[in-house]
Amino acid sequence: MKKRGPLLLFFISLIMLLSGCSSKLLVLDPKGPVAKTQSSTIIFSMIVMAVVLLVVYVMYIYMLTKYRATKANEGYEPPHIEGSKWLELIWTIIPIIIVVILSVVTVRTTNAVEKVPAGYEDQKPLVIYASSSDWKWHFSYPEENIETVNYVNIPTNRPVEFRLYAFGPITSFWVPQLGGQKYAMSDMVNKLNLVAEHEGSFFGRNSNFSGKGFAHMEFEVLAQSPADYTKWVDDVKKTASKLTEDEFNKLLDTPVVGRKTYSSTHLEFRPAPEGANGGHHHGGGDADAKDNTGSMDHSNMNMDDMESMDHSQHE
Amino acid sequence: MKLDEFFVTGEPMIYAAMVSIVVASLAILIGLTYFKKWGYLWREWLTTVDHKRIGVMYIIAALLMLFRGGVDALLMRAQLAVPENGLLDAQHYNEIFTTHGVIMILFMAMPFIIGLMNIVVPLQIGARDVAFPRLNAVSFWLFFAGAMLFNLSFVIGGSPDAGWTAYFPLASLELSPTVGNNFYSIALQIAGIGTLLTGVNFIVTILKMRAPGMKLMQMPMFTWSILITSVIILFAFPVLTVALALMMFDRMFGGQFFTMANGGMDMLWANLFWVWGHPEVYIVILPAFGIYSEIISTFSKKNLYGYKSMVASMVVISLLSFVVWAHHFYTMGHGAMVNGVFSITTMAIAVPTGVKIFNWLFTLQKGRISFTTPMLYTLAFIPIFTIGGVTGVMLAMASADYQYHNTMFLVAHFHYVLIPGTVFAVIAGFHYWFPKMFGFRLNERLGKLAFWLIAIFFNVTFLPLFFLGLNGMSRRMYTYSAGSGFGPLNMIASIGAVGLALGFVVLCYNIYWSFRYAPRENASDPWGGGRTLEWATHSPVPEYNFARTPNVKGMDAYWHSKKENQPLFEGKIEPIHMPNNSGQPFILGVIFFFLGFFLIFSWWIPSIIAGIAVIIMLAARTFERDHGRHIPVKEIIETEKKLGGELV
């Protein structure tokens, strides 16, 4: 059967591409512990799956070459074979074992990426609210009391807690080299813990389709040394203008804008949908989630509460 | 409403499409009148309740939709071939990927499968028809009305543009103010009712109408897969019905189920959509498994290996398909615990699927494998689908999915599952059972040529997407910058898409060529290795399927009756009771089409009138006395003689 030729070729090129490109593909070129966990999970699963593929392909090629109809076996009557309890058990149990191994890895790594990365637990995370509106990203730094649009600067080797929400359709916050994505939605705040261990400029984007300008909805994450970062914050505080409510509303009404910098945040007049403002809360195993459980439990969502929080400014 | 809002305007491509639609419709109308085929069309096709003809109509519709969805795909690949391409604007691109997804899943894959099951299942179980023939026609016309309505959005009103998942709040009236997503909710609703009715019909057919002696565990594997699929339909489609109804309330009557303010929950839509949407994946894949099981066994001249574990795995898959939906939104922030649970249930599906792969491989063992066109598709399915399967396991791992989610990696994965899984299967089944529909086989040389084009260029198209995803390319981006480095791999994928399209063109040319030139064989078992009951009757199959009801004594009844020289049909020919043709299902479909159309544009008075017309149609049916008719023995014997069957 000629089929196996091209397929084997694809398989080999797959492996070669993987090994050749691994230093180039963004996801497999992590610059922080979260992305590192994810990329090693991916590579581990690729190896396991390559073994599975190999087994199937070897058997497949064997069956097709050995049992093809030829002139030599013209009168051959294939036997009636019901099946084999043992063989069928084997190819049930081995996949179960593989799935169990992968499940253990998955549960452990899923827990790991939801938490502050190991080794950074004792540091106070830098909280940055990242919210999307139409096709732009707003980054509010409550501690520093500054806000940027479409770019975000972070210090290296310090945990950053992004709090994600949206003033419009669901978007997904993704910085492939620092860690996988999470959704930003209008009625709750999602938390994403990232750490950059290398200085540099990283590509970030919304990866959940959100309408016309979606393709252009990118931002830059600039990881700076703590000293440079502090200097940048000071600079912003000195030079940038304040973000007024009018200015912010105007910003929301403009679908696409370039980079902006402000020396105050929108959180004061337009708080994020968390705590008393929240519809529901799905924080990822976070310590302070406990403090607010009373007001955040969405099973007894309070309609009065909902009215006071207005998400519909957005066109 | 102004006329320029009613018709889609501003794009030369749309005008060209409008002109071609008008020209094609006129050509059909004039042709039918000139050749005096109106009566024939009405008597033989539009009013038919014959399951085989309904099946053929499903397949014709599915092939048409394959081309509509295929053109969408080509346009997308053309747009993405080079960075910063200006061929399509964002809006047009968004509409195209939305309709591509909806059409390929709901108006191509599903009807193609339903078409094949309509033709084959009653034959495989030795029945004369489905349990409710008239309902079957209603199902078809509802599907057809929905499909036409959905396609109309292309030139009238504007297509839906929020993705085939129509996530809220993007799909809400607030953010998608055109009627596009009304088309989505109404057209899918009408087609969905048809599908639900089909599910009911086939459960009853398979459970109640099997030939005497055929136990459940002796049914052919395709029939088994359809039984399980029908059960999934029965449980999954009501969820879609409810979700679409809520969507309709939100968009047309000021409902607040999924809005951003007033307590609406966008996650509720995502949950409802995928509670239906994930089982839907198995609705289109399980019948494919059934088709492959039949073909692999026929062309290795062996019985299916591990029949019982094959059935068991399908049952397990069907159960698991309902408990994995949350893997579609791991990144919605439901925490490590929920993600962990859904990761495990999702990966667990790999186990029964793996069992099936190995059983197929061992069916080949000690067989005598002949490489016919249907067998080639089946054999290509195994290695390609396995890639789709293992990448599925990779996606199931929640921590890693944070990186794949919504990227080209995902797009590559589900095309690697759905194309070798469903598309190859329906093409294989189409070639395999074609003689049962028309009495001759499709050309093998052209069939193989189409196969090689499709199999090779499929990989050229979709393999690069895995790497694009890992390199940070999101799905549904209408353009990308040159600096992103996505250009070269996208170009390869686009070249592959052209090759893939070429394969489908050859496939269609083959149908045309074979209708004109292929030798008419009229053999009951043209492949020579048929094992199940459909090969025991003539090709093409007479209206009544079997002149006498077969007596089944075990699995692969036809094969064993041949080998052991035991007669399958005993007793004498008796008059056969058949249902009468009826124009009602067609008319009901037309009324539903208009009802849907009026609802979409919120034209309430015509909607109410159409709604009343539907009720009148249903009421009229309850008062109707139609006991069908009997085909006299003489006529049966004549038909049998004409078809060259052994007599009495």
For residue range B357-395, what is the model confidence (pLDDT) as tens digits? 999 999 999 999 999 999 999 999 999 999 999 999 999
Range A118-136 average pLDDT: 93
Closest Cα of chain A to B48: distance in Å? 41
Establish if A20 touches chain B: CB-CB under 8 angstroms. Answer: no
Q: What percent of chain B has pLDDT over 70?
A: 99
- Asked if the model's pLDDT at residue A314 lies above 50, the reply is no
Whole-angstrom Cα Rg for chain B: 25
Nearest by CB to B402, from A24, A49, A113: name it: A113
The pLDDT score that the predictor gives to residue B7 is 78
For residue range A231-252, what is the model confidence (pLDDT) as tens digits? 999 999 999 999 999 999 999 9
> Which residue is listed with tokens 């589900």?
B414
Following DSSP, what letter does each residue of B126-189 receive, concatenated? T-SS-S-HHHHHHHHHHHHHHHHHHHHTTTBT----STTTT-TTTTSTTT--STHHHHHHHHHH
C-alpha dihedral sign at B243, B187, B255, B606:
negative
Q: How far apart are CA B92 and CA B78, in angstroms?
A: 13
Q: How far apart are CA B256 and CA A314, in angstroms?
A: 16
Phi, psi for A274 (deg, rounded to 5)? -135, 170
In contact, B396 and A42? CB cutoff 8 Å = no
CA angle A157/A200/A172 to nearest 5° reads 85
Following DSSP, what letter does each residue of B102-122 receive, concatenated? HIIIIIIIHHHHHHHHHHHHH
Establish if A284 touches chain B: CB-CB under 8 angstroms. Answer: yes
Q: How far apart are CA A282 and CA A305, in angstroms?
A: 18
- Asked if the model's pLDDT at residue B411 lies above 70, the reply is yes
Give how far the C-alpha of residue B53 lies from the chain's centroid of Cα atoms, to the nearest Å: 17
Establish if A61 touches chain B: CB-CB under 8 angstroms. Answer: no
Q: What percent of chain A has pLDDT over 70?
A: 81
C-alpha dihedral sign at A94, A100, A105, A106:
positive
- Substitution target in B88, B457, B470 with the highest count of A β-carbons within 10 Å is B470
Q: How far apart are CA B74 and CA B505, in angstroms?
A: 13
- Asked if the model's pLDDT at residue A116 lies above 80, the reply is yes
For residue range B129-186, what is the model confidence (pLDDT) as tens digits? 999 999 999 999 999 999 999 999 988 888 999 999 999 999 999 899 999 999 999 9
Q: How far is CA B417 from CA A314, B226, B432, B536, in A?
A: 39, 19, 21, 33
Establish if B386 touches chain A: CB-CB under 8 angstroms. Answer: yes
For residue range B184-217, what is the model confidence (pLDDT) as tens digits? 999 999 999 999 999 999 999 999 999 999 999 9
The pLDDT score that the predictor gives to residue B590 is 96
| B626 compared with B581, residue with greater pLDDT | B581
In contact, B557 and B147? CB cutoff 8 Å = no
Establish if A3 touches chain B: CB-CB under 8 angstroms. Answer: yes
- Residues 264-293 on B with a CB inside 8 Å of A are 264-267
| B414 compared with A280, residue with greater pLDDT | B414
Which amino acid is it at B478? Y
Q: In terms of Cα–Cα distance, which of B80, B169, B261, B314 is closest to A169?
A: B169
The pLDDT score that the predictor gives to residue A9 is 61
Q: How far apart are CA B376 and CA B296, in angstroms?
A: 10
Q: How far apart are CA B137 and CA A85, in angstroms?
A: 44
Work out the mean pLDDT of chain A and round it to a whole number: 85
The pLDDT score that the predictor gives to residue B22 is 84
> Which residue is listed with tokens 């959905």?
B150
Closest Cα of chain A to B548: distance in Å? 29
Q: Are strands A151-155 and A218-224 parallel, antiparallel or unpaired?
A: parallel
Range A118-137 average pLDDT: 94
Closest residue in B to A214 (Cα) is: B477
- Asked if the model's pLDDT at residue B10 lies above 80, the reply is no
- Count Cα neighbours of B200 within 13 Å in the Cβ-side half-sphere: 14
Q: Mean pLDDT lowest for which of A145-154, B415-424, B496-505, B545-554?
A: B545-554
Q: Mean pLDDT lowest for which of A218-222, B44-48, B521-525?
A: B521-525
- Substitution target in B80, B161, B399, B404 with the highest count of A β-carbons within 10 Å is B399
Range B323-334 average pLDDT: 92
Q: Chain B contacts of A180, Cβ < 8 Å?
A: 331, 399-403, 405
The token pair that represents B55 in the structure block: 């099946």
Phi, psi for B451 (deg, rounded to 5)? -60, -50
ipTM for the whole complex: 0.91
The pLDDT score that the predictor gives to residue A313 is 42
pLDDT grade, residue A277 (50/70/90)?
confident
CA angle B26/B27/B28 to nearest 5° reads 90
- Residues 472-531 on B with a CB inside 8 Å of A are 472, 474-480
3-state helix, strand, coil in chain B (%, to 5): 70, 0, 30
Q: In terms of Cα–Cα distance, which of B554, B518, B573 is closest to B216?
A: B554
The three-state secondary structure class of A82 is coil
3-state helix, strand, coil in chain A (%, to 5): 40, 20, 35
Nearest by CB to B335, from A69, A205, A284: name it: A284
The pLDDT score that the predictor gives to residue B648 is 41
Q: In terms of Cα–Cα distance, which of B99, B183, B117 is closest to B429?
A: B117
Kindly give, in sequence order, each residue whose CB lies less than 8 Å from that of residue B190, ignoring residues fewer than 6 positions away: B142, B145, B146, B149, B592, B593, B596
Phi, psi for A148 (deg, rounded to 5)? -125, 160
The token pair that represents A44 in the structure block: 């581990």
Nearest by CB to B357, from A56, A112, A303: name it: A56
| B38 compared with B456, residue with greater pLDDT | B456
Annotate B522-569 with three-state secondary structure: CCCCCCCCCCCHHHHCCCCCCCCCCCCCECCCCCCHHHHHHHCCCCCE
CA angle B639/B641/B645 to nearest 5° reads 105
First to last CA, chain A: 59
Q: Chain A contacts of B472, Cβ < 8 Å?
A: 26-27, 174, 176, 203, 205
